[in-house]
Structure 1
Amino acid sequence: MALFQCNTCGASKEVETGIVEVCANCGSAKVVNLTVQAEQIAKANDAFRAAIICGGHPAYKGRVVCSQGVAAEGPEFMTMAQLQVAGFADFNEDNDPHGDHSMGAVQVCGKTVWWKFDLYDEAYEFGADDPLDDDSTRRVLTLLFPNEY
């Protein structure tokens, strides 16, 4: 089962077998297999997260930021949070419904810290045009407390 979406009109279609090459709604050829896209984004997100503890990933560019609440806990807490986030691997249908590993939660010193990815353009102004284009996509990994969401 795969989910396809038209990048022109936004229509989506789920198919058991085969490939959707043209949107049945508008005729556009700009159709994306969201299932495959989610898997590829998950792979890149995982690699980016794992590399935050060693200076960043060479192919997946971006930055790690934290909320005011997380920053107020101090540098040791932020370091422990980053270590927990870098090693997170407990994805399931409940915490990763889209299959792209874009959000999670870890425990740091008895406190729940959420982390989430947003994908931007090179200038960090708009959403990524093509989240699979590693040269132009920038990841922002945010660490925050649930009450700051």
Structure 2
Amino acid sequence: MNSIALLNDSFRRTFSGGKVMMTIGVAELPDCVKAEALRQVADFSGFTEENDPHGEHDFGSFDLVGRKFFWKIDLYEEPDVKDANGDPVVNRVLTIMLASEY
């Protein structure tokens, strides 16, 4: 498994090391549904060649309360901010959305 997939998996499972965002459609759902959606994202393991062609573990989908949800991890490089090794800092943003909002 490549390093991007490992870092994405770590972030997705712990929600540490990036930002987690929800679209308005998800944010308006009851708290218990949002909590279950987060658990579904953290527990996701259904990566296939079809939904993960680059092997980065950056997208998934699941069904919950009769709705299809998508989640996506995007990487944003901060070219003007360097880490201790002098490399640009990369920020991870995980967005959870209803498929109907895509």
> Which one scores higher on RCO, CA 8 angstroms, separation ≥ 6?
2
Q: How far off is 1:135 after superposition?
A: 7.3
Q: Which residue of 2 aligns with 1:45?
A: 8
Identify unmatched segments of 5+ residues in structure 2. 80-85
**Change beyond 3 A, Cα 1:48–1:135:** farther
Q: Tell me if structure 1 keeps the 8 A contact 2:69–2:97.
A: yes
Q: Which residue of 2 aligns with 1:78?
A: 34
Q: Does 1:142 align with 2:95?
A: yes
Q: Which residue of 2 aligns with 1:99?
A: 55
Number of equivalent positions = 97
What SS does structure 2 have at the residue aligned with 1:137? strand
Superposed CA RMSD:
2.4
Sequence identity (%): 41
Identify unmatched segments of 5+ residues in structure 1. 1-35, 127-132
Q: Tell me if structure 1 keeps the 8 A contact 2:76–2:90.
A: yes
Which of 1 and 2 has greater Rg?
1
Distance (Å, rounded) in 1 between the aligned partners of 2:3 and 2:24: 31
What SS does structure 2 have at the residue aligned with 1:93? coil
Q: Tell me if structure 1 keeps the 8 A contact 2:61–2:69.
A: yes
Distance (Å, rounded) in 1 between the aligned partners of 2:66 and 2:14: 24
Q: Which residue of 1 aligns with 2:83?
A: none
What SS does structure 2 have at the residue aligned with 1:86? helix
Runs (4 or more) in structure 1 with deviation over 3 Å come to none
Q: How far off is 1:79 after superposition?
A: 0.8
Distance (Å, rounded) in 1 between the aligned partners of 2:91 and 2:34: 22
**Change beyond 3 A, Cα 1:135–1:82:** farther
**Change beyond 3 A, Cα 1:135–1:76:** farther
Q: Tell me if structure 1 keeps the 8 A contact 2:73–2:95.
A: yes
Equivalent AA in structure 2 for residue 141 of structure 1: L
Q: Which residue of 2 aligns with 1:116?
A: 72
Q: Tell me if structure 1 keeps the 8 A contact 2:77–2:88.
A: no
Q: How far off is 1:108 after superposition?
A: 1.7
Distance (Å, rounded) in 1 between the aligned partners of 2:88 and 2:27: 30
